[in-house]
Amino acid sequence: MARSPSVALVTASSCRNLDEDLAPLEAALLGRGVDVAVVDWDDPAASWSGYGLVVVRSTWDYVDRLEEFLSWVDHVDSVTRIANPAAVLRWNTDKRYLLDLAAAGVPTIPTTVVDPGGEVRCPSTNEVVVKPVVSAGARDTERYASGQRSEAEAHAHRLLDAGRSVLIQPYFEGVDEAGETAVMFVAGELSHGFRKGPILRPGTGFVGGLYREEDIGPRRPSGPEMEVARGALAAVPAAGPRDLLYARADLVPGPGGEPVVLELELTEPSLFHAHAPGSLDRFAAAIERFAAAGHSS
């Protein structure tokens, strides 16, 4: 007998109240007649095979539990359809993917990776950003002035001593005025854009453990921003742009003002539908389509 292609929107118990997209999305799907449930990824009582499509949303606490999270992804992938695809989630949860984008010719923020046991060398001339390779919401991410090289290195060592690999990047100060441009795609098509204000204050030192306040407003991506964002999407291994239910490219101005990728969010991006009329419905419609396409019994 045919079973309805029900959808799970996946969050985490500590993140439900932080995810402002979740309740409106659930309501939009219900409004379309989609059988939808909001489920914590680590809920032991969840029966993932009972859903036709499992959509990763605000699973932001995986940062401290990446292997457990990826095992969950593999489990769900073995019993039903997960979005984004499992291979994409595995690739995208480690910011080393920035190196792959750069190697594919996508304009990307210059990034150095240091693994535990490796040597930390911060450029002495620029402001730098130190962040873990696995992070979200700017957690454990700090900006250091050129005179704070020893503080920057101490931050990196603190992460490395905890067994975490580290990214070191120049601070791209264009973000201070322009902010970031987020380009949001649904199934490979542009859905909407928004602006995110600068987050890192100079010289505050290691903060740790916090999700930072975000200052969001509407923004229409420029032609050059669209080109870079599309290039980033096309460079994703193991999935074509249309196979990505959702994707968000975060761009900042490079030294000459040209857009470069700071982040390509294919795992758990906030979508800020409230700033883009029509975007919630576009996403709900795509979820319904993906659920129907994966429904074979």
Ligand X SMILES: Nc1ncnc2c1ncn2[C@@H]1O[C@H](COP(=O)(O)OP(=O)(O)O)[C@@H](O)[C@H]1O
For the annotated catalytic residues, the residue numbers are: 212, 248, 265
User: 169 vs 279, which CB is nearer to ligand X?
Assistant: 169
> CA–CA separation, 183 vs 259, rounded Å?
12
Q: Sketch the per residue contact string, 236 through 275, with ligand X: x for CB under 6 A, - otherwise.
A: --------------x-x---------xx------------
Least distance (Å) from Mg ion to the CB of residue 250?
5
232 binds ligand X (CB under 6 A): no
175 binds ligand X (CB under 6 A): yes
Among the residue ranges 24-32, 100-108, 132-140, 181-189, the one whose residues contact ligand X (CB under 6 A):
132-140
268 binds Mg ion (CB under 5 A): no
> CA–CA separation, 241 vs 100, rounded Å?
16
> CA–CA separation, 277 vs 191, rounded Å?
10
According to CB under 5 A, which residues from 4 to 63 bind Mg ion? none
Residue of 26, 180, 268, 288 interacting with ligand X (CB under 6 A): 180
> CA–CA separation, 4 vs 9, rounded Å?
16
138 binds ligand X (CB under 6 A): yes
According to CB under 6 A, which residues from 186 to 225 bind ligand X? 196, 198-200
171 binds ligand X (CB under 6 A): yes
110 binds ligand X (CB under 6 A): no
Residue of 263, 268, 269, 284 interacting with Mg ion (CB under 5 A): 263
Tokens of 210: 């916090």
- Residue 36 in contact with residue 6, Cβ under 8 Å? yes
172 binds ligand X (CB under 6 A): yes
Cβ contacts of 257-261, under 8 Å, gap ≥ 24: 257/174, 258/107, 258/224, 259/107, 259/181, 259/222, 259/224, 259/225, 259/228, 260/107, 260/108, 260/109, 260/172, 260/228, 261/98, 261/101, 261/106, 261/107, 261/108, 261/109, 261/228, 261/229, 261/232
Among the residue ranges 13-21, 32-40, 169-177, 233-241, the one whose residues contact ligand X (CB under 6 A):
169-177
Least distance (Å) from Mg ion to the CB of residue 261?
11
**Per-state percent for the chain, helix, strand, coil, to nearest 5:** 35, 25, 40
- Residue 167 in contact with residue 131, Cβ under 8 Å? yes
According to CB under 5 A, which residues from 130 to 189 bind Mg ion? none
Least distance (Å) from Mg ion to the CB of residue 77?
25
- Residue 82 in contact with residue 89, Cβ under 8 Å? yes
- Residues that bind ligand X in the complex, under the rule CB under 6 A: 109, 129, 131, 135-138, 141, 169, 171-172, 175, 180, 196, 198-200, 250, 252, 262-263
